[in-house]
Structure 1
Amino acid sequence: MNSKVKDFLISLSIIFVFVTILVLFLNYVLITYFGLNKDNFLIIILPLVVFALFLFLILSKSILNPLFKSDENLSKTVKETIHELNIPVSTIMLNTQMLQRKITDEKALKRLERIKKASDDLLKLYEDMEYSIKKEIDHIENDSFHLNEIVDNSLDKVEDIRQSQNISINKELNTNIVIKSDKNGFAKVIDNLLSNAIKYNKKNGYINIGIENSSILYIQNSGKSIDTKHLFYLFDRFFQEDSSQNGFGLGLSIVKEFCDKNKIAINIIPLKDATRVELNLKKQLIN
């Protein structure tokens, strides 16, 4: 338990004890003076309850305000710092692109390519941090976007790791299907599911992506089927069915958290020599 939480609990406990003692004392005085019977019960008790609630709120606000103010200042500082990180990263990328146009030396170009790759990684990290902070601190507005646009962008990201795997998209997905959701969060869901489909696929395997029944987005990959005994643990944080694979077992827990928050039903179906993941987007579709 961190110190801020401890201070918060201690402050609330002190206020509660103080208000309780004060109200019990007033209750004792009033009963001693007026007596207590069915005629005056509400007249005595109800004002005391209202007074206790009012006093508790007033004292809580005055004592806890510094704690909340500290959180507000921290949130503001973090958001401003994250925003400023974008400037040096963008500067590095812009100057790298300019140098690539002028330099012809092969070794120097390779070094620049490594710098560009590192800059891309930094930019991706910046975008992930910015999204995570906004998700925790601010309210994220839902956007309307084409489903195939998100899938295409995810496919571009995994182009380097797909190797010999064959990826196919059914024609229904390429129609103008528009959904309304948290666009960045939804993109992370597709990124994670597609990355898993590649990671746990077999050599020269397949990945099928498509839409069924107008609202079910599915990603199916060949390879070893998921053991049914692990179905209850797949979404647990840090769980990995195959510990030999790289990663921390966070992908599916992130996916599940987003789906639960945005009312997207997710279903993982083990098939013979394949695994299929389905997302029910019925509540996100814009007709």
Structure 2
Amino acid sequence: MLQEKRHILQEYSNDFIFKLKDLHVNFDKYKYYPRDEKFNSAIFDSDKKLIFSTLESKDVKFDKVTYISENMIHFIEEPESYYLGTKYIILEIPDDNVWFRSVKGEIITYSFIAFIFMLILGYFISKLFLKPMRDALHLLDRFIKDTTHELNTPISAIITNIEMIDKDILDAKLAKKINRIDIGAKTISNIYEDLTFLTLNNKIISQNENLNLSNVLEQRVEYFKSLATIKKINFVLNIEKDIYLNSDLKKISKLIDNLISNAIKYNKIAGTIKVTLKENFLSIEDTGKGMSKENLSNLFERYSRFDKSVGGFGIGLNIVSLIAKEYNLDIKVESELNKGTKIEVIWQN
């Protein structure tokens, strides 16, 4: 708006300077100050002292070219010649947009009220549209909880009965079949425990105790040896005795289980899993497929899977991350494609 007015005022100024020049040349003849109904004006000398003025505004800002003051637009021009001793010419016209500035506060207020109204309306509309999705998710969540609850009894019964069988007195064929059932039951059991942890995570109260982590780790390795046997994977153990960690037995077992399970799942045939436990340090290293650096950044996100040929839901390492956060465990991952992956868990007593 000021830019447009500046062009108009420049034309007025040129016309005014022409009249001022005419007065300067013919001062003895005219002797009256040039006026125009379209604008007010004033002239100042080089010391910024007023020579003559018809301005309504008395405060002149000589450091600006165009400005608004007291609902009037002002324009300052310096003519090439000092006609009648004039160094500065100030023109003044009414501000046509003064009404807008007077109602600007009201516009902002009503806009804010409209925004709040639309926000509330949008909230209720989004709730209405998302209700079918929420109902479907609630139904799915309930189905998972009911399913995992129903799976618990048969899985436990299968594993318990298999462990009671003396495999040494069985012939090789039957022992092989029993071993396959054992592997299948343990795989289902591990998936069941993962789903249970995710669905009940917020309701699980940790029963922390001073755990002998060395014993827990040896037990979990022994538990997974039947799964490792299928791929002819060999465990190399370097477990120091009597390493303790204050934590919940079920949660730490679940953390170890998922790390070992992944090391088996993504390992190569006849590969190796190196398990190391020292003071404040646990490491599980495999000789499997490894991962790219791009995949490492999303490693602990839920449902992330980087190898579709291997089973799973992509929740194991997410559970590891949740448990690690609860107990302030620092997890470091090193991996190289076709060479293997090493996961370190570090903590402070």
Q: 1:157, CA displacement in angstroms?
A: 2.5
Q: Deviations over 1:241-285 (max 9, x none)?
A: 1111011111111111111122111111114712100001224xx
**Unmatched segments (≥5 aa) in structure 2:** 1-144, 167-175
Establish whether residue 194 from structure 1 lines up as the match of residue 260 from structure 2: yes
- 1:267 match: secondary structure: strand
Establish whether residue 160 from structure 1 lines up as the match of residue 202 from structure 2: no
Q: 1:164 to 1:92 in 2, by over 3 A?
A: closer
Work out which of the residue numbers 217, 225, 236 in structure 1 matches 2:290. 225
Establish whether residue 267 from structure 1 lines up as the match of residue 335 from structure 2: no
Establish whether residue 141 from structure 1 lines up as the match of residue 180 from structure 2: no
Structure 2 CA distance for aligned equivalents of residues 146 and 95 of structure 1: 27
Establish whether residue 256 from structure 1 lines up as the match of residue 324 from structure 2: no
Work out which of the residue numbers 306, 326, 340 in structure 2 matches 1:241. 306
Q: 1:198, CA displacement in angstroms?
A: 0.6
Counterpart residue type for residue 265 of structure 1: D
* TM-score normalised by structure 2 residue count: 0.45
Structure 2 CA distance for aligned equivalents of residues 183 and 275 of structure 1: 26
* TM-score normalised by structure 1 residue count: 0.54
Establish whether residue 216 from structure 1 lines up as the match of residue 281 from structure 2: yes
Work out which of the residue numbers 156, 163, 180 in structure 1 matches 2:246. 180
In 2, are the aligned partners of 1:217 and 1:278 still within 8 Å (CA)? yes
**Unmatched segments (≥5 aa) in structure 1:** 1-77, 101-109
Q: 1:184, CA displacement in angstroms?
A: 0.5
Q: Deviations over 1:190-211 (max 9, x none)?
A: 1000000011111111110003
Q: 1:121 to 1:277 in 2, by over 3 A?
A: closer
Alignment length, in residue pairs?
A: 200
Structure 1 CA distance for aligned equivalents of residues 273 and 161 of structure 2: 38
Q: 1:159 to 1:96 in 2, by over 3 A?
A: closer
Counterpart residue type for residue 182 of structure 1: D
Higher relative contact order (CA 8 A, sep 6+): 1
Q: 1:112, CA displacement in angstroms?
A: 10
RMSD: 4.2
Q: 1:229 to 1:139 in 2, by over 3 A?
A: same
- 1:158 match: secondary structure: helix
Q: 1:116 to 1:231 in 2, by over 3 A?
A: closer
Counterpart residue type for residue 165 of structure 1: I
Higher strand share: 2
Structure 1 CA distance for aligned equivalents of residues 162 and 335 of structure 2: 46
Higher helix share: 1
Q: 1:242 to 1:141 in 2, by over 3 A?
A: same
Work out which of the residue numbers 199, 205, 221 in structure 1 matches 2:271. 205
* Higher gyration radius (CA): 2
- 1:161 match: secondary structure: helix
Q: 1:89 to 1:218 in 2, by over 3 A?
A: closer
- 2:225 match: secondary structure: coil
In 2, are the aligned partners of 1:145 and 1:183 still within 8 Å (CA)? yes
